[in-house]
Structures are given as structure tokens and as C-alpha cells.
Amino acid sequence: MRDPGISVVICVYTEDRWEDILAAVSSVRAQSYPALETLLVVDHNAALLERLAREYETDAEVRVLANAGPRGLSAGRNTGIAASHGEVIAFLDDDAVAERDWLRRFAEGYADPRVMAVGGRTVPVWASGRRPAWFPEEFDWVVGCTYRGLPPGRVRVRNVLGGNASFRRTAFEAAGGFATGIGRDGDRRPLGCEETELCIRLTRVRPDALLLIDDRAVIHHRVPGPRERFAYFRTRTYAEGLSKALVARSVGAGRGLESERRYTTRVLPAGVARGLRDALLARRGGAGRAGAIVAGVLTAASGYVVGRVRARRGGTTFSVVRIEGVRP
């Protein structure tokens, strides 16, 4: 099979991340497997749109465009998909940099025509220079990174993780785009799971589809100081519960919580045991990690309950739309 052309979409929303955005674009330009194009999608920020347009006005490989949908990450991604030309569309967070072979590893995964999505491994770069002692690796998803419990190597998964992921264009033709109303919206409550909902929806309409994670497709994701604090940890886990309730409403609790059951019954108890063992051995942060795992589970569970109640009352909605420019 011929090598696929890959478009890279980076969704941006604030000038506060200016240097991060430039670094993300530079990491795409340095790939050993060249990107077909890089699309910077600006989320309803006219000043940032104008500034980026000036920055890349003479660069034929980078296109800057405005989010054509409602505010938020999902609509920004959908805008990038519609404007892209690649057979494969890859997504990179605006505060992350990709290793040199990132796109090459994605491309290798698509040698099998059944593969509809390939994700990678996201490594945290802590603002303080080191992981907080209390922060459990099992909860690295809180800061948008690969967490302990995911299988190593190139493996089949239920869903990829959105900040380091790619999809075949035909996946969007079959299933539609990212659902709006479920994911991130700038600095508002840190919801998520839009890629989980899309992946489950995709495998419903394409039961033969394979979704992979290849841990050699590596990006490094910056974790700012405020996200190293327990207050953010608590807010993010609660928001994850809200998001999971929306996913369960869309695709059913059976599929929507399939991976989470293994995570909560096997991965997290093992993490608590490790933390308590480290505490008994007087190792730094052991008790804090065990406590954070328990707190994270309880907070996510409370968010899920609240989300289910809101969903039943019709207080929270989201929608899936066909992307303009992508065949239905």
C-alpha cells in the first residue's frame, strides 16, 4: 500500500501559548515523514488569527484559518478536517511537540486498510521540572498524557486519545465529525471524551474498523504549574465524570464505560496498593498517590452521577454533524 498523505491539524485559542504554538508547528516541519500540510485552526480569537496569519503568510506549508463552527475544540477539529487534503488527518495539541518519527509511526499503522485510527504516547513535561510526588501515573490523563494501565507497543484499543491521534479521512465519511458540546471550550470547565465518543460511534458503523495506539509515536506535552495542583486534579476528574455521562448517553453504558471498568477494577486498585507499599517503605509521595487515586475515583463518580441526572433532565446536549467538504 502506498504511503498516505497526512494533514496535521493544531487547534489554538489563546495568545498566551504563542511560543508553544510556534514550537508545535516547528516539530511538525521537522518530521522524518513530511506532513502534507499543517492547519492552524483559531478558536474565535481575532487577534490570534491575525497574528498567526502574519507569522505564516509566506509559508506555503502552513495554513491559518478560523474555527467555522461554535466555540470549542470539537468544532475546531471539524473545521480542520473539512479544510484538509490528506488521506489521513493527525491532531497535535497546541502546547505539545512531536518527536521526529511521530508521523512515520502513524503512517506505518495505515498499511492495513482496516485501520481507521492510530494514536500515540504523550509524555508530560512538568513546569516544575519533575512529577509532583502525590500525582499518580494512573491519572496522567488528567493532564492530557498517556497513563499507567494502557498496554505497551502497537495494540488495538477502543479509542485513541485526542491530543496525539490520527484518523483516516474515510472514518469521518462513515461516522461524521467530533461531537460539539462535549469537549473543551477554551478555559471553561475541562471536559473531554469527544474522541472516545467518536471512536465508539465509528466502530458501530464500521464493525471491521481497527483502532490502534503505537507507543513509538511520541509527543511531549507541557503541563503548566496550575495543573500540577490538586485543585485542578479534582476539577478535571469531576469534569471527566460529566463527560463520561454524555458518552454513555450517546453510545450506551456498555460501550461507553467498557474500558473504564477494567481501569477501575484492576489498574487503580494496583495503584493504591503500590502507593501504600511505598508509604510503608517511607518512599516519597506514596500515601499521597494512594489518596489521590481514591479521591479521583470518588470525584469522577460524583461527576458521572450529576451528568446522568442532567442528561435525563435534558440540561446538557451535544450534537454530531456531517463535516462540510467531507462526503456523507
Beta strand residue intervals within the chain, DSSP E: 6-12, 37-42, 62-66, 88-92, 96-98, 115-126, 154-156, 164-168, 210-223
- Three-state SS at 256: helix
pTM of the model: 0.91
Give me the pLDDT at residue 186, please. 46
Cell numbers found for residue 310: 442532567
For residues 309 and 303, what is the distance between their CA atoms, to the nearest angstrom? 10
191: left (phi over 0), alpha (psi -120 to 50) or beta: beta
Residue type, 274: R
For residues 81 and 75, what is the distance between their CA atoms, to the nearest angstrom? 10
Blockwise average pLDDT, block size 10, the chain, 328 residues: 89 97 98 98 98 97 96 94 97 98 98 97 97 97 94 92 94 92 53 82 94 97 97 94 78 61 90 96 96 97 88 63 56
**What pairs with residue 122 in β-bridges?**
219
Q: Are strands 96-98 and 210-223 parallel, antiparallel or unpaired?
A: antiparallel
Residue type, 48: L
Closest CA to 218 of 137, 152, 293: 152
For residues 199 and 220, what is the distance between their CA atoms, to the nearest angstrom? 23
Cell numbers found for residue 217: 509515536
For residues 328 and 323, what is the distance between their CA atoms, to the nearest angstrom? 8
Give me the pLDDT at residue 253, please. 54
Closest CA to 155 of 103, 210, 116: 210
Give me the pLDDT at residue 257, please. 61
